[in-house]
């Protein structure tokens, strides 16, 4: 099993290109099931999760071709001939549930395994199922599979989510494009990935208003066509690499970065004493001498502080002067990185959904183990600032969400290497 060796060696300088968003691309890819015409996605990230979604779509009869070293995906649902998303593929990734809405909308039936994914707390699919039932679907859960039917097609309806759910909003949005009549989604997720999906669907011929707000209105159409669509910048990769010069010192430009994708995160980062400036090519992050200041952070749905940057922010605050409180409001059991950071000398006290971090002057390199995708990169960030060597094991998580992390960090001066296991 591979590991990553990081040796702390001071400030970072240079540029890091930011890839297309994993979470956006994983949502855009199933949209090809809504049409028999080609869908081309540019600026696609080269990640294992993208390969898993490609395998899932191919198993359903869709055509998936990877072009330009994986940065362009040529998709087509014209050969769709299977309606079952099998457990052996779905278990690898929770985003697999996003084929349910498109399959049901276009063919009238779907059989989709209940998904797997990272062990960071319960992420039930009941909101997805309830939304589709509102559109007239009949649902039956048996033998670990969702059996969905809409023999007369879907019809518009009013979907009111009791809590904000990105995935359920995406599934409902895709299904509603081919439903008869008008669908209104209330308490909809507002993430940039939702806006990106809506823009792609509109390019395919959908009629959608309000994406990016709490209420989305969709007028169903008889069919969707093909389109070419650029995947939005990955805001989580962006935030992660913004933290690299913040934790180590130096100055790094994040190419393709946009502040509007991470407003709440940028505000908190500036409160610690980090400087952020917009450039013609993206964002420049710099940190001068001296320790950073402690800040309190509470995760929240967009436009709040992203839960997917909580672990990385904890690594930074472990070295800030003072006491920081991090409150995790999205997922339970998402502080599994805290004991690993403690192995490096961090002082972190976890009680339920709250972690109290007392900043220390230095971290020490140590053998640590990644527990999930974001935890793995938080340990790499800590290793960049630690004295000595940090060996991060179980880094297969990284391949799901970070494209060429070793090459990108080496490009700005980090001492980091991947060790084959």
Model confidence pLDDT, tens digit, residues 363-389: 999 999 998 888 899 999 999 999 999
Domains of the chain: 3-19+233-419 (3.65.10.10), 22-230 (3.65.10.10)
The predicted pLDDT at position 373 comes to 84
DSSP assignment string, 336-371: TTHHHHHHTT-EEEEETTEEEEE--S--B--EEE--
> To the nearest 10°, the Cα dihedral for 35, 36, 41, 44?
90
Asked if the model's pLDDT at residue 117 lies above 80, the reply is no
29-33, 91-95, 160-164, 292-296: lowest mean pLDDT where?
91-95
- Give 3's pLDDT tier (boundaries 50, 70, 90): very high
Phi, psi of 133 (to 5 degrees): -65, -35
Average pLDDT over residues 167-171: 97
pLDDT for position 22: 94
Mean pLDDT confidence for 58-72 = 95
Output helix, strand, coil percentages for the chain, rounded to the nearest 5.
35, 30, 35
Average pLDDT over residues 177-203: 98
| Residues flagged as binding site for UDP-N-acetyl-alpha-D-glucosamine | 94, 123-127, 308, 330
pLDDT tens by residue, 385-420: 999 999 999 998 898 889 999 999 999 999 999 999
Cβ pair 333, 374 in contact under 8 A = no
Per-residue pLDDT tens digits for 21-47 = 999 999 999 999 999 999 999 999 999
Mean pLDDT of the chain: 95
Q: Which residues are annotated as a binding site?
A: 22-23, 94, 123-127, 308, 330
Instruction: Please report the beta strands in 32-157, taking only residues with DSSP state E, as ranges in sequence order.
Output: 38-42, 63-67, 72-76, 84-85, 109-113, 138-142, 145-149
Catalytic residue among 25, 118, 200, 266: 118
User: Higher confidence at residue 94 or residue 52?
Assistant: 52
Model pLDDT, residue 346: 98
**pLDDT for the residue numbered 122:** 46
| 123 pLDDT higher than 80 | no
pLDDT of residue 94: 84
Q: Is the pLDDT of residue 120 over 70?
A: no
CB 83 within 8 A of CB 101: no
User: What is the pLDDT, as a whole number, of residue 401?
Assistant: 86
Q: How much is the pLDDT for 116?
A: 56
The yes-or-no verdict on residue 334 having pLDDT over 90 is: no
Q: Using 50, 70 and 90 to split pLDDT, how confident is the model at 119?
A: very low
CA distance 254 to 140: 47
Tell me what pLDDT residue 71 has.
Answer: 94
- Position 333 scores a pLDDT of 74
Binding site for phosphoenolpyruvate: which residues?
A: 22-23
Q: Region 49-53: what's the mean pLDDT?
A: 95
**For residue 392, how far is the Cα from the chain centroid?**
21
Q: Is the pLDDT of residue 332 over 80?
A: no
Asked if residue 121 has pLDDT above 80, the reply is no
pLDDT score of 289 more than 90 = no
> What mean pLDDT do residues 254-270 have?
97
Catalytic, 118? Answer: yes
Per the CB < 8 A criterion, the answer to whether 76 and 32 are in contact is yes
């Amino acid at each position: 099993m591979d590991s990553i060796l990081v040796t702390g060696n001071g400030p970072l300088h240079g540029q890091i290109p930011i890839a297309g968003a994993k979470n956006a691309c994983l949502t855009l890819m199933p949209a090809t099931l809504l049409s028999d015409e080609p869908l081309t996605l540019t600026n696609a990230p080269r990640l294992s999760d993208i390969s898993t979604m490609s395998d899932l779509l191919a198993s359903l009869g869709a055509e998936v071709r990877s072009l330009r070293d994986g940065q362009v995906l040529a998709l087509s649902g014209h050969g769709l001939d299977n309606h079952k998303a099998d457990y052996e593929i779905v278990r690898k990734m929770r985003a697999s549930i996003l084929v349910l809405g498109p399959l049901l909308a276009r063919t009238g039936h779907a059989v989709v395994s209940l998904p797997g994914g990272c062990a960071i707390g319960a992420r039930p699919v009941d909101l997805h199922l309830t939304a589709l039932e509102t559109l007239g679907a009949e649902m039956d859960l048996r033998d670990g599979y969702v059996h969905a039917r809409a023999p007369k097609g879907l019809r518009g309806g009013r979907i009111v989510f009791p809590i904000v759910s990105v995935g359920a909003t995406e599934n409902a949005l895709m299904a509603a494009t081919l439903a008869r009549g008008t669908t209104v989604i209330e308490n909809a997720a507002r993430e940039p990935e939702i806006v990106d999906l809506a823009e792609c669907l509109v390019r395919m011929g959908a009629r959608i208003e309000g994406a990016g707000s709490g209420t989305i209105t969709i007028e169903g159409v008889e069919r969707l066509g093909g389109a070419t669509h650029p995947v939005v910048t990955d805001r989580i990769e962006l935030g992660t690499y913004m933290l690299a010069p913040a934790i180590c010192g130096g100055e790094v430009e994040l190419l393709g970065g946009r502040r509007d994708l991470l407003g709440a995160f940028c505000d908190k980062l500036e409160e610690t004493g980090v400087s952020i400036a917009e450039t013609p090519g993206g964002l420049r992050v710099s940190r001068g001498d001296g320790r950073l200041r402690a800040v309190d952070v509470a995760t929240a749905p967009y436009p709040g502080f992203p839960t997917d940057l909580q672990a990385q922010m904890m690594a930074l605050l472990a070295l800030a002067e003072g006491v920081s409180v991090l409150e995790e409001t999205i997922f339970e059991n998402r502080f599994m990185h805290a004991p690993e950071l403690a192995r490096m000398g961090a002082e972190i006290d976890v009680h339920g959904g709250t972690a109290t971090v007392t900043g220390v002057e230095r971290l020490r390199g140590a053998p640590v183990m990644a527990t999930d995708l974001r935890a793995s990169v938080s340990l790499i960030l800590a290793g960049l600032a630690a004295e000595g060597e940090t060996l991060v094991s179980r880094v297969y998580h990284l391949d799901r969400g970070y494209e060429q992390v070793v090459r990108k960090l080496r490009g700005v001066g980090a001492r980091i290497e991947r060790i084959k296991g």
